Amino acid sequence: MGNPPEQDDPYAGERVRMVREQIERRGVSDPRVLRAMESVPRHLFVPESFRTSAHDDGPLPIGEGQTISQPYIVAFMSEAIRPRPTDRVLEIGTGSGYQAAVLSRLVQHVDTIEVRPRLADMARQRLRELGFANVTVRVGDGHRGLPEQAPFDAIVVTAAPQDVPPALLQQLAVGGRLVIPLGTLDQELVRVTRREDGTDREFLLPVRFVPLTREARRPD
């Protein structure tokens, strides 16, 4: 028999408590999402100085003015795209790579775009070292999306524009789901579903994300 999980991973118990107390109690119920949140080592996606706070109910700084979202929001957005094992997903705003890691446990492949080259490089290395082989990290402008890999079954945006970038809608497959925060000070998380004849838009909950920026792109 192997060692108990707590010996191999001293934060395993904290992740279980995080899921039960912060996520499941607030209504996230998809068992695959809950398992993904329990299995991805969140403490390895935050700076070492914040490791003991990794499972607290709030965002944490990851450098360059960016944050890792609170666990509940990561779980909520993951459930909101209605993930399927065969899905190809685009994430806008890689950050630490944590949301992409969670999504990678739920879908076939994740392409994720980060506008800040240093954050992208760190996330790429971290995801590779931790064995998340079905995630591709790219440097680029999230407003543009990734047309060369479209269409996507789902798109998750982890930074807030004023309105949905048209390119992202164009890159959704019919039946695809886009989850995105919209606004400046007063933001709403929105789910947009593409139909044959247009889109449906649902308002999910109030949120607070960093703005979606258009900084200079560095070629991969």
Which residues does the annotation mark as catalytic? Answer: 69
Give whole-number Cα distances, 25 to 4, 17, 18, 21, 58, in Å.
26, 11, 10, 6, 16
Output DSSP code: residue 75.
H
* Cα separation of the two ends of the chain: 44
Evaluate the CA torsion angle 208, 214, 217, 220 in order and state its sign. Answer: positive
SS3 content of the chain, % helix, strand, coil (to 5): 35, 30, 40
Q: Is the peptide bond before 151 cis (omega within 30 degrees of 0)?
A: yes
Q: Locate 84 and state its tokens.
A: 């399927």
Please tell me the distance from the alpha carbon of residue 191 to that of residue 203, in angstroms, as a whole number.
7
User: Cβ(152)–Cβ(168) under 8 Å?
Assistant: no
Query: Helices (H), strands (E): how many in the chain?
Result: 7, 9
